[in-house]
Amino acid sequence: MLMATHADIETTYTFIDVPLRVNFGECFDFECAYYGDDPTLSVWDAQRNKHRATLAWLGFRPGERVLDVGCGWGPMVRAVRDAGGHGVGITLSTRQVAACQRLGLSDVHLMDWRDLEPERLGTFDGVVSHGAFEHFCSVDEWRSGRQLDVYRAFFRRCGAVLRPGRRLHLQTMCWGPNRVPFEDISFDGPPDGAPYLVALMAKFYPNAWLPDGPDQVTAAAEAEGFRRIDLLDGREDWIRTLHDWKPYRRKRSVRKVLNALRWLPRYLASPDFRRMVECGDRFANLVLLEREVLHHHRYLFERP
Ligand SMILES: C[S@@+](CC[C@H](N)C(=O)[O-])C[C@H]1O[C@@H](n2cnc3c(N)ncnc32)[C@H](O)[C@@H]1O
């Protein structure tokens, strides 16, 4: 297995497409918001704050083109458009492409970043990637020592479409100081234990292996000629985002019930699928961030 495959990504994002759109609206961020030390901000304001801050970090000016790698349901592409620019998104989820088309975000494509080249989508004044990097390296790639190569390939592809002197903003989780050794990841222990919760996340995001941390991500970027000009710790913000989402996740709706009925045969037939559901029910991501098994950062890189 070379990477989190298109089918893996489709499974995850098709499963959550309807419930998340019901919970959070049609054009939502499925990633860490940016509260900027403001205790009064709602999660929605903090997401808008992140869009504004990201464009400022990129040095964006109206009329410019910005690429979002792993654009999800389109919030950053829309923010670029609303700020007077042209946003282009790529994703491996057909549901997300359809959601973006419904919002009038027509320059969103079903495309792997591995196929990025200037001849296909042109060049850009900025590149954004929020919450997608976590998918890029597979367990097999990590085990065979190719993780850095995968990340280098990502920065090389981005560098090829980014104009000189311009910036790339990246948000990603990584392993934290209390990471669970690979051999210990299992469903054998207690369900509230870190090994069990990491095993649940591996079912939710199949074939994905996280980066070690900022040193590795930065080394990959620098090896491809990027210069890191900022690094922010995003763990507290990600924890707050996940807490703030909780009440919305409980929203009741007929669409959610009908969607659950559609997935019922798979739920009954597939133990892996039941684990995906359990992952959400146990708030595995949140608990693991709180215990520092996982961590999160925001990076700003510049292409000389
Ligand atoms: C957690 S979602 C984040 C979505 C969005 N950036 C946000 O902040 O809401 C991860 C995204 O990464 C995309 N993705 C994962 N691997 C990819 C790849 N190899 N090429 C392009 N997109 C990818 C998925 O399709 C999905 O859109």
CB of 32 within 6 A of ligand 1: the answer is: no
Centre of ligand 1 from the C-alpha of residue 73, in Å: 9
> Could you give the CA distance from residue 52 to residue 235 in angstroms, rounded to a whole number?
20
Q: Angle at Cα 277 formed by Cα 184 and Cα 89, nearest 5°?
A: 95
Chunked mean pLDDT (size 10), the chain, 304 residues = 64 88 92 94 97 98 98 98 98 96 97 97 98 95 97 98 98 98 96 97 92 98 98 98 92 89 92 92 96 98 96
CB of 112 within 6 A of ligand 1: the answer is: yes
CB of 93 within 6 A of ligand 1: the answer is: yes
Centre of ligand 1 from the C-alpha of residue 216, in Å: 20
Give the residue, out of 11, 30, 205, 210, with the most ligand 1 atoms within 8 A of its beta carbon, to mutate for a pocket test.
Answer: 30
Helix, strand, or coil here: 156? Answer: helix
Centre of ligand 1 from the C-alpha of residue 53, in Å: 20
Q: What is the pLDDT of residue 12?
A: 83
Atom from ligand 1 closest to the CA of residue 30 = 9
DSSP 92: S
CB of 31 within 6 A of ligand 1: the answer is: yes
> Could you give the CA distance from residue 98 to residue 151 in angstroms, rounded to a whole number?
28
Q: Angle at Cα 35 formed by Cα 106 and Cα 28, nearest 5°?
A: 25
Centre of ligand 1 from the C-alpha of residue 262, in Å: 24
Q: What is the pLDDT of residue 207?
A: 87
End-to-end CA distance of the chain: 35
What is this structure's pTM? 0.95
> Could you give the CA distance from residue 161 to residue 113 in angstroms, rounded to a whole number?
11
Q: Which residues, listed in sequence order, are joined to residue 110 by a DSSP beta bridge? A: 91
Q: Which residues, listed in sequence order, are joined to residue 137 by a DSSP beta bridge? A: 209
Q: What is the pLDDT of residue 147?
A: 98
Q: Which residues, listed in sequence order, are joined to residue 129 by a DSSP beta bridge? A: 170
Residue 240 Cα distances to 39, 42, 157, angstroms: 10, 10, 33
Centre of ligand 1 from the C-alpha of residue 190, in Å: 31
Q: What is the pLDDT of residue 214?
A: 98
Nearest C-alpha neighbor of 133 from the set 164, 160, 154: 154
The answer to whether the CB of 165 falls within 8 A of the CB of 303 is: yes
Helix, strand, or coil here: 209? Answer: strand
